Amino acid sequence: SLRLLPLFLAALALSGCGKEGVSALKPEGEVAKEQASLMLISLLIMIVVVLVVGFLFTYAMIKYRKRPGQEDYIPKQVEGNTKLELTWTIIPIILLCILAVPTISKTFALSDNNTSKKSDVLKIKVTGHQFWWEFEYPDQKITTAQDLYIPVGKKVEFDITSKDLIHAFWVPALGGKQDANPGQTNHLWLKADKEGTYKGRCAELCGSSHALMYFNVKAVSDKEFKHWVKDMKAGMKSAPDKDRVLTASAKQGEEVFKNNCMSCHAVGNKGGQIGPNLTNFADRDNIGGFEKHTKSEVKKWIKDPESIKPGAKMPKFGKKLTDDQINALADYLFTLSVKQ
Ligand code: CUA
């Protein structure tokens, strides 16, 4: 078994790697901080227990080892020691209480949902799909996907559900983790302390691209958030046929989009609801939640989504559309920006 040691050490070292920002140990918000402090308490208790038990174990091994030339014998057998038994019962009880009190109180504090004043919170409906995330802002009448905008310092309440099977919504740096179950709504709230982009991901095995079900949480200042809402609302009202000035190629791409993509994808409030809403597609950080946001990646995606996200529901368009049409489509998609 010693031969497995290097493997074990390598696994241990690699377990710290991964996508940047996906760590529950670097909390950036109230919920995440509370949860990290609970982890710390239990870690400290465990360290104390391991040290004490390890010390006693080592002491007994050395003290009562078999010495050379010593004959085999059975040591004095002890049965029943009230003092000792009370000690090893009471100490764990105390340790469990130290762990239980903050755990229970924080569990209730963090599950507090739907109790805040309406004006103090932002409501967002989260829907998990194989393999992407839909975000709906019911009060603002905005629907978007993959990039989740939230204002810094504000309590954000999520109503979480799924369109197909069980996913789990998780933003490690902001805390929480909640199952997204079809036909049911679960609740979670989070708050970001600092502006920045935090990686979110699916935390429930949901198929071949479960590990690729990333999303970005963009925590922005209140002012920037209001600006984004205004721009998005304008974008939600616009649709592909709104008279925008487009290059010839993008114009051609718009036609391709109308004829091939709109039964599943909406731009603004026009189009299908099967795939992600693409209103602010050009403003997004990644394609499919993790790929570089470039035209060449978009074209690869349109030609063969399966090669990037196995199990994606979108059909291959590599055979149906010509390279020319796909180029035009990519040009069009990169005009879908709400930034004024
Ligand atoms: Cu969705 Cu894992």
Kindly report the CATH number assigned to the domain that includes residue 310. Answer: 2.60.40.420
| pLDDT computed for residue 340 by the predictor | 64
Q: Which domain holds residue 249?
A: 238-333
Task: For residues 109 and 148, state if they share a domain.
Answer: yes
Quick check: is 257 in a domain? Answer: yes
| pLDDT computed for residue 327 by the predictor | 92
- pLDDT over threshold 90, residue 288: no
Q: Is 202 in the pocket of ligand 1 (CB under 6 A)?
A: yes
Q: CA-CA distance, 68 to 270, in Å (whole number)?
A: 87
- Examine the fold and report which residue of 175, 197, 222 is the final residue of a domain before the chain moves on: 222
Question: What is the Å distance from ligand 1's center to 48 Cα?
Answer: 37
Task: For residues 100 and 156, state if they share a domain.
Answer: yes
Quick check: is 3 in a domain? Answer: no
Quick check: is 12 in a domain? Answer: no
Q: Is 151 in the pocket of ligand 1 (CB under 6 A)?
A: no
Could you identify the atom of ligand 1 that is nearest to the CA of residue 204? Answer: 2
What does the angle CA 285 – CA 286 – CA 287 come to, to the nearest 5 degrees?
145
Task: For residues 145 and 270, state if they share a domain.
Answer: no
Task: For residues 218 and 191, state if they share a domain.
Answer: yes
| pLDDT computed for residue 14 by the predictor | 65
Q: Is 305 in the pocket of ligand 1 (CB under 6 A)?
A: no
Q: Is 210 in the pocket of ligand 1 (CB under 6 A)?
A: yes
| pLDDT computed for residue 178 by the predictor | 93
Task: For residues 193 and 126, state if they share a domain.
Answer: yes
Asked if 332 and 254 touch (Cβ cutoff 8 Å), the reply is yes
Quick check: is 340 in a domain? Answer: no
Question: What is the Å distance from ligand 1's center to 234 Cα?
Answer: 32
Task: For residues 242 and 285, state if they share a domain.
Answer: yes
The percentage of the chain sitting over the pLDDT mark of 90, rounded to a whole number, equals 55
pLDDT tens digits for 329-338?
Answer: 999 999 898 8
Distances (CA, A) of 219 to 155, 191, 202: 12, 9, 19
**Reduced to 3 states, what is the DSSP secondary structure of residue 156?**
strand
Q: Is 167 in the pocket of ligand 1 (CB under 6 A)?
A: yes
Could you identify the atom of ligand 1 that is nearest to the CA of residue 203? Answer: 2
pLDDT band, very low/low/confident/very high, at 223 (cuts 50, 70, 90): very high
| pLDDT computed for residue 5 by the predictor | 79
Asked if 338 and 283 touch (Cβ cutoff 8 Å), the reply is yes
Q: How many domains does the chain have?
A: 2
Quick check: is 120 in a domain? Answer: yes
Could you identify the atom of ligand 1 that is nearest to the CA of residue 128? Answer: 1
Task: For residues 153 and 264, state if they share a domain.
Answer: no
* Protein residue with its CA nearest to atom 1 in ligand 1: 167
pLDDT tens digits for 80-106?
Answer: 899 999 998 999 999 999 999 999 988
Quick check: is 73 in a domain? Answer: no
Task: For residues 214 and 254, state if they share a domain.
Answer: no
Q: How far is CA 311 from the centre of its chain?
A: 19
Task: For residues 35 and 105, state if they share a domain.
Answer: yes
Q: Is 128 in the pocket of ligand 1 (CB under 6 A)?
A: yes
- ipTM confidence: 0.98
Task: For residues 251 and 305, state if they share a domain.
Answer: yes
Note the residue count of the chain: 340
Q: Is 261 in the pocket of ligand 1 (CB under 6 A)?
A: no
Quick check: is 338 in a domain? Answer: no
